[in-house]
């Protein structure tokens, strides 16, 4: 159902839509879902890394069997950081006094203590899963929902995980931006890859679904783009051929996860399914290797954004291998760490994000009132993002 202009002007509820801190309505809402937390390839067997998700800290490691394990940040003995630990098979041993925990979190060795001591000690563990080249974690009190959290897109192709991007603003800004197709014609007009979507402006409509929100962007040219916004922070969208790829890979399907680090920061954890098979995969990977070499040689994305914010570089003249990401972060994080939505002026082109806010407000208010929130379902296999002109191929 489309949001009417009258609804856009309706006064807001008092629940904080942006926070995901534990114990808040937003935090309780978000902890109903799996969250992408890292790329699989960034956590090698035998290694542990720190992760911060929704204002809470954890240690993530991969054991010798390949299994990923998520445990509390600190050792229950005297609070040492667990990601400094030694990974031994699928267990982890704290570097401070050598206490060792198995993958259920049970302490199985406390070398300086009496026999039998370890069995009374355990570290908190959290469910994990791996799919699409990503590691997901579940942080809620209940049983986790079905995994993976959405079906793999059908059809042949190659799935690539992009380097994880740290974005210095609240996750909801980027999720809202993903519902704002009009920005593409402006924010991404200086160079970059989105020229194919810049020739006319779409009329945006959106509808709530059992799994999130389906958004339609319809252009005067007849081009229709349907984008999936999967609750609470995932977007599946078809985008134009990637910058610097000379069309290799076609129009990929991109899945964005906007994972909150805390209320002021979030991660972009992104996979792209490109339309290449067989030998084309090799050619695609070669082209991507050139792209990644250029990316590695270029200034850091955030330093370019900082220069834009400081007025040292004009937004319009910036060039960078990740130009679209530079542009998006400059705009979205430039709204402030947590955008002050009380001073904004919404229009009809904001219909997608306005509807999502209504949904979020409703759910958070139900949680705040102690009611029963919506039971979200997994996206059906045949609900996929599309772009094109109906009737034409």
Q: Is 59 in the site for ligand FES (CB under 6 A)?
A: no
Q: Shortest approach of Fe ion to residue 194 CB, angstroms?
A: 7
Q: Shortest approach of ligand FES to residue 152 CB, angstroms?
A: 40
Closer to ligand FES by CB, 92 or 239: give it: 92
Q: Is 94 in the site for ligand FES (CB under 6 A)?
A: yes
281: phi > 0 → left, psi -120 to 50 → alpha, else beta; which? alpha
Q: Is 96 in the site for ligand FES (CB under 6 A)?
A: yes
Applying the rule CB under 5 A, the residues between 195 and 224 that interact with Fe ion are none
Pairwise CA distance, residues 364 & 25, whole Å: 5
How many residues bind ligand FES (CB under 6 A)? The answer is 9
Which residue in 56, 253, 328, 363 binds Fe ion (CB under 5 A)? 328
Q: Is 99 in the site for ligand FES (CB under 6 A)?
A: yes
Pairwise CA distance, residues 277 & 170, whole Å: 37
Q: Which of Fe ion, ligand FES, none has residue 328 at its interface (CB below 5 to 8 Å by kind)? A: Fe ion
C-alpha angle 197-249-153 in degrees, rounded to nearest 5: 85
Closer to ligand FES by CB, 93 or 288: give it: 93
Q: Tokens 């008092």, residue?
A: 14
Can you spell out the DSSP letters for 313-362?
A: S-GGG---TTHHHHHHHHHHGGG-SS--GGG----GGGHHHHHHHHHHHH
Q: Is 262 in the site for Fe ion (CB under 5 A)?
A: no
Q: Which of Fe ion, ligand FES, none has residue 97 at its interface (CB below 5 to 8 Å by kind)? A: ligand FES
Q: Is 322 in the site for Fe ion (CB under 5 A)?
A: no
CB distance 96 to 77 below 8 Å: yes
Q: Give Cβ neighbours of residue 55 (< 8 Å, ≥ 6 apart).
A: 20, 21, 22, 27, 260, 261, 262, 263
Pairwise CA distance, residues 59 & 77, whole Å: 16
Pairwise CA distance, residues 230 & 34, whole Å: 11
Q: Is 176 in the site for Fe ion (CB under 5 A)?
A: no
Q: Is 180 in the site for Fe ion (CB under 5 A)?
A: no
Closer to ligand FES by CB, 73 or 178: give it: 73
**168: which 2 tokens?**
């210095």
Sign of the alpha-carbon torsion through 324, 325, 327, 328: positive
Closer to ligand FES by CB, 80 or 103: give it: 80
Q: Is 97 in the site for ligand FES (CB under 6 A)?
A: yes
How many Å separate Cα 249 from the centre of its chain? 22
Q: Is 87 in the site for ligand FES (CB under 6 A)?
A: no
Q: Shortest approach of ligand FES to residue 1 CB, angstroms?
A: 54
Q: Which of Fe ion, ligand FES, none has residue 148 at its interface (CB below 5 to 8 Å by kind)? A: none
Which residue in 21, 52, 67, 77 binds ligand FES (CB under 6 A)? 77
Pairwise CA distance, residues 25 & 225, whole Å: 33
Stretch that binds ligand FES, among 95-103, 113-121, 347-355, 373-381 (CB under 6 A): 95-103
Q: Tokens 């610097």, residue?
A: 244
Contact set with ligand FES (CB under 6 A) = 75, 77-78, 80, 94, 96-99
Contact set with Fe ion (CB under 5 A) = 328
């Amino acid at each position: 159902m489309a949001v009417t202009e009258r609804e856009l002007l309706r006064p807001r509820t008092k629940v904080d839509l942006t926070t995901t801190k534990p114990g808040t309505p937003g935090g309780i809402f978000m902890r109903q879902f799996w969250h992408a937390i890292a790329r699989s390839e960034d956590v090698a067997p035998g290694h542990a890394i720190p992760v911060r998700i929704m204002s809470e800290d954890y240690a993530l490691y991969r054991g010798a069997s390949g299994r990923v394990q998520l445990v509390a940040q600190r050792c229950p003995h005297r609070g040492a950081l667990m990601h400094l630990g030694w990974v031994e098979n699928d267990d982890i041993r704290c570097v401070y006094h050598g206490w060792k925990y198995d993958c259920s979190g049970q302490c199985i060795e406390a070398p300086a203590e009496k026999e039998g001591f370890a069995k009374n000690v355990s570290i908190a563990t959290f469910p994990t899963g791996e799919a699409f080249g990503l590691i997901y974690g579940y942080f809620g009190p209940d049983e986790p929902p079905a995994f993976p959290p959405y079906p793999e897109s059908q059809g042949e192709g190659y799935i690539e995980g992009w380097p994880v991007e740290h974005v210095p603003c609240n996750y909801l800004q980027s999720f809202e931006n993903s519902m704002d197709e009009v920005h593409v014609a402006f924010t991404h007009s200086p160079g970059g890859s989105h020229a194919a979507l810049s020739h006319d402006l779409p009329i945006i409509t959106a509808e709530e679904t059992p799994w999130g929100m389906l958004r339609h962007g319809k252009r005067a040219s007849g081009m229709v783009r349907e984008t999936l916004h999967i609750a609470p922070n995932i977007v599946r969208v078809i985008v134009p051929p990637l910058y610097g790829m000379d069309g290799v890979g076609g129009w990929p399907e991109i899945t964005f996860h906007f994972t909150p680090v805390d209320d002021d920061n979030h991660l972009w954890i992104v996979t792209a399914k490109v339309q290449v098979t067989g030998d084309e995969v090799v050619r695609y990977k070669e082209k991507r290797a050139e792209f990644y070499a250029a990316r590695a040689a270029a200034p850091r994305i955030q330093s370019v954004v900082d220069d834009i914010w400081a007025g040292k570089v004009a937004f319009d003249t910036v060039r960078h291998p990740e130009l679209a990401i530079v542009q998006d972060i400059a705009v979205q994080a430039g709204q402030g760490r947590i955008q002050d939505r009380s001073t904004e002026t919404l229009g009809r082109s904001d219909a997608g994000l306005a509807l999502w806010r209504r949904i979020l407000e409703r759910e958070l208010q139900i949680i705040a009132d102690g009611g029963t929130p919506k039971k979200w379902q997994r996206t059906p296999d045949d609900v996929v993002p599309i772009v094109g002109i109906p009737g034409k191929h």
